Amino acid sequence: MPATILKSTASSKTLLIIKFDTNSSRYPFYKKHLLELNSESTFLGLLTKGQADTSITRLNQDDVRLFEKAKTVADRTKDVAYSFSDPILSTQLRTPPPQPTSIRYLYFGTYRIKPWYTSPYPEEYSCAKNLYICESCLKYMNSDHVLQRHKMKCSWSYPPGDEIYRDKNISIFEVDGQRQPIYCQNLCLLAKMFLHSKMLYYDVEPFLFYVLTEFDGQECKVIGYFSKEKRSASDYNVSCILTLPIYQRRGYGVFLIDFSYLLTQVEGKLGSPEKPLSDLGLVTYRSYWKMRVAKALLEITTPISINAIAKSTSMVCDDVISTLESLSVFKYDPLKKKYVLQLKRDELENVYKAWNIKHPQRVNPKLLRWTPYLGEEQISNLLLKENILIPLPQKRLLDNSHHLDSV
């Protein structure tokens, strides 16, 4: 035995202490490599001793002095001098330190916006007085100095995804949360400042982001976006939707909603926004649904089921029924226990026309160049449908028992 185990203690981090037999022929081999392997000084054996040498970067007094000097000057420009997440702060002070304040202003391109809600940015940024966001890549910064440095090299002129729709200068990009997590996280963090109930910030992988942009002659600027689960268990076609405050009340929200239903239509599904909706979202959706259902009702002449209306509008039945109610079309006769649709065509026409006047910007399905997102499962289903894959015959459990009976 060239090595013997001396002891292992649970309390310390050392698991084993190995004592080598110095008379063993393999001792030099062990000594040279194993001890080096286990030491941090060579980066766990990744580097040679010469490579891992840190003597030339060892700090001397001048280095530390320069750094401290720069740090004190730089800290003076900041609002907060200490770190709020420092857990020993209160123990040191023996009194509660002041509460962290939230971001006062958001600088986004040429705009200064007062955020409505707090967003879970990292501490450095959450506690800063102002937050600066690059309108091209959505990187967040806590000082205009950094922004200036950043602007010198940010070369993004459109979101990091594929353009799937373009109508004049309006474009929609599909960004995959798995391929561009940082961009999507930044987008979510930005959106949280204007949304009350939003739970998604960092786990963006299972989502697709549809970013609406406007081309201003130089780059495609973000107007709004909606996110959509790649695979939704409950017919949700929108999980989060936002128009940036700068562009609000210009019909972009409705445009995004219309677009989301277009995607659902192409997929051949029924869709509904993820609930609960924000106040603004509810108002927008209500008016959109009314228009959508009114249009569908104007086209019908024969008795029609709720399901058929849902299919023609790509809306789920729940949404269809609630919209029929609010249009006062959906009636009930308690004597005959029967539901009927009572149409007043002129009223419906008014609803449809009024909406169209208010929202001139419409989605043109012809301009969409898009194939639905396919997961592995869907691809295999597709292959099965096309008879490319032949399903395996399932074994019948009953066969055996029949056999036994006959015997």
Partner 1 sequence: MQTFRLTSTGRNILRPDELAFQPREEIPYKSFHPDLQIDEPLEILEGDHTQYAGLRDSLVTYKSENSYVLKALLNAKIENVKPVGVQTENINPQEKKFGYKTAKQLDWSPDEYFKFVAIHPYSKTSFPVSYDLDELDTMWLTYYNEFQLSSNSEWENVSKEFLEIVLTIIEREWLYLEAWMPKIEPVRVEDELDGRCVICNEAECENSNAIVFCDNCNTSVHQNCYGIPFVPEGQWFCKKCLLAPHEVICCAFCPDRDGAFCTTLDGRWCHTICAIAIPEISFHDTSRLDLVRNIASIPKSRWKLVCCICKLRWGTCVQCSDKNCYAAYHITCARRAGFFYKIYSHSASYDSVDMETYCDKHTPPDYLNGLMKRLFPLAELYYKRMATDVPLNFQATKAPDFVPEGPWKSHPLPAFIVDKVTKVLLSYNVKRQDLPSIVTDICKFYHMKRRSRKDAPLLKSQLLMDSLENLPVRASKDRVRSLEVAKALQDQYQSLLTLVESTAKRQLLKCQLSNLRKKFLNLNYFPAQRLLQDTLVKIIDLDVDGLFNMPLDNGWIGWVELKRQVFSYQIGSISSLEKKLEPIWDVDGVIQCIDDMEQLTAMVQFAQKTEGEVKKLFIKAKIYFESLSLDERGNLKVPSLGINGLEYDNWPGLNELEMSQLDIPSQGNLKSLHDFIEGLDLNEKIGKFPISMFQNQVAQFSTIEIPKMSGRANGMHNFHSEDVTGQSNHALPNSVTKKNGTKQPYTKNSLPFNERITRSKAKKNYS
Residues 308-327 that bind partner 1 (CB under 8 A): 308, 310, 317-319, 321-322, 325-326
Q: Which of 202, 374, 379, 382 binds partner 1 (CB under 8 A)?
A: 202
Specify the residue, 55 or 406, whose C-beta has the smaller distance to partner 1: 55
Contact 243, 252 (CB under 8 A): yes
Min separation Cβ 242 and partner 1, Å: 12
Q: Which of 166, 250, 269, 295 binds partner 1 (CB under 8 A)?
A: 166
As a whole number of angstroms, the distance between CA 71 and CA 398 comes to: 78
Full strand arrangement of the beta sheet holding 240-243: 162-167, 170-176, 207-215, 220-229, 240-243
Is 366 a binding residue for partner 1 by CB under 8 A? The answer is: no
Least Cα distance to 121 among 178, 199, 190, 72 occurs for: 190
Please, which of residues 30-49 interact with partner 1 by CB under 8 A?
Answer: 30, 33-34, 37, 40, 43-48
Is 17 a binding residue for partner 1 by CB under 8 A? The answer is: no
Catalytic-labelled residue, pool 123, 135, 274, 325? 274
Specify the residue, 159 or 271, whose C-beta has the smaller distance to partner 1: 159
State the chain's maximal CA–CA distance in angstroms.
Answer: 104
x-marked contacts with partner 1 along 178-197 as a string, rule CB under 8 A? -xxxxx----------x---
Min separation Cβ 216 and partner 1, Å: 10
Which letter does DSSP use for residue 142 in this model? S
Q: Which of 80, 298, 343, 354 binds partner 1 (CB under 8 A)?
A: 343
Give the three-state DSSP class for 215. strand
Least Cα distance to 284 among 250, 308, 310 occurs for: 250
CA 366 → CA 10, 164, 262, distances in Å? 68, 11, 11
Instruction: Say if residue 341 carries a ligand binding annotation.
Output: no
Q: Considering only 230-238, 262-270, 303-311, 387-395, which stretch makes contact with partner 1 by CB under 8 A?
A: 303-311
- Tokens read off for 101: 């304040």
Q: Please, is 231 exposed, middle or buried when counting C-beta atoms within 10 Å of its C-beta (0-12, 13-18, 19+)? A: exposed
Q: Which parts of 77-112 fold into alpha helices (H)? A: 89-93
Catalytic residue numbers, as ranges: 274
- Going by the annotation, the residues of the binding site for acetyl-CoA are 241-243, 248-254, 278, 287
